[in-house]
Amino acid sequence: MFEQPLLQVKNVTKKYGAGCQKCAALHSEVMIKNYCPVCRTVYACRDVSFDLYSGEILGIVGESGSGKSTLMQCLYFDLETSSGEVYMESSEWQGENLFYLSAKQKRSIRNSKFGMVYQNPIHGLKMEYSAISNIGEKLIAAGNRNVKEMESIGNTLFREVEIPLFRSKEKPLHFSGGMQQRVQIAKALSNNPPILFLDEITTGLDLSVQANVLDVIKNIQVEYGVSMIVVSHDLAVIRMLADRTLVMLDGQVIEKGLTDQILEDPQHHFTQQLVYSLI
């Protein structure tokens, strides 16, 4: 008996352009990487499928422009997908393709089931509002109307991500990059989402701060059992966090498997290149 995946992603495609007969086939010969010179369509993500199980961390690696972030934004409903399906294990939306839900329903899923940490905190935080209000925003969106309760949830999370409480009422604008990132993580966690998306969360942070942020993530996973999808081009991050890993290139998944397996015994020549360039 196999466990039911928490999130099933099937054939997600995001293209910019109409597409044509020449590039419709998956391994079309006319394509230059992910670009079709005939109809000038760019395939940001192409036919991506994977399952996410409860409590696991799934890593997605790939070079810049391979479609990692686009995939995350599609799953978080920031972008409209061109085609594909996504199913979530839940009493409410069982068996329904989430991409077909109304914008309002998607918003409700985003606010109650998902958490997102963007590469750039500007996208995930309201920089002009205090850190605690940023936590409040997510809780308000999920329907909470009790100030004291929201404040105490916020303070608990700040302790968790090591933000000193005496700075909780300051604007994230005045915080360092690492602190901003930790506020974002606290915000994403605020309503106990079963699924967390982490998009290049350590990029642009120095090594000691990186380690600190990764520690926080690892603790959270152990403590809350949240499933996470971690996008990174940094193999060290993937090695530390992810149980299973997908390798993306030109919008497509070229290899998937256990993280150790992929890092120790890469099959695809691009993965080999990626892994050996690290050492």
| Residues forming the site for another protein (CB under 8 A) | 103-104, 107, 126, 129-130, 132-133, 136-137, 140-141, 145-148, 150-151, 169
Q: How far is the CB of 139 from another protein (least distance, A)?
A: 9
Q: Which is nearer to another protein, 50 or 77 (CB)?
A: 77
- 157 or 253: CB nearest another protein: 157
Minimum distance of another protein from residue 141's CB (angstroms) = 4
Contact assessment for residue 42 and residue 35, using Cβ atoms and an 8 Å cutoff: yes
Tokens matching residue 121 = 């905190």
User: Which residue, 156 or 267, has its beta carbon nearer to another protein?
Assistant: 156
Q: State the minimum distance, in angstroms, from the CB of residue 50 to another protein.
A: 29
CA–CA separation, 151 vs 23, rounded Å?
Answer: 52
- What is the closest distance, in whole angstroms, from the C-beta atom of residue 80 to another protein in the complex? 13
| Residue with smaller CB distance to another protein, 10 or 126 | 126
Cβ 230 vs Cβ 146: under 8 Å = no
Which residue number, 33 or 169, has a Cβ lying nearer to another protein? 169
To another protein, the closest distance from the beta carbon of 73 in angstroms equals: 17
Q: Of 148 and 269, which CB lies nearer to another protein in the complex structure?
A: 148
Determine the residue type at 149.
E
Burial category of 39 from C-beta neighbours within 10 Å (exposed 0-12, middle 13-18, buried 19 and up)? middle
Helices (H), the chain: 21-24, 68-75, 103-112, 121-124, 131-141, 147-160, 177-189, 207-224, 235-241, 259-264, 269-278
277 exposure class (CB count in 10 Å sphere: 0-12, 13-18, 19+): exposed
CA separation for the pair 131, 175 (Å, rounded): 9
In whole angstroms, the minimum distance from the beta carbon of 118 to another protein comes to: 17
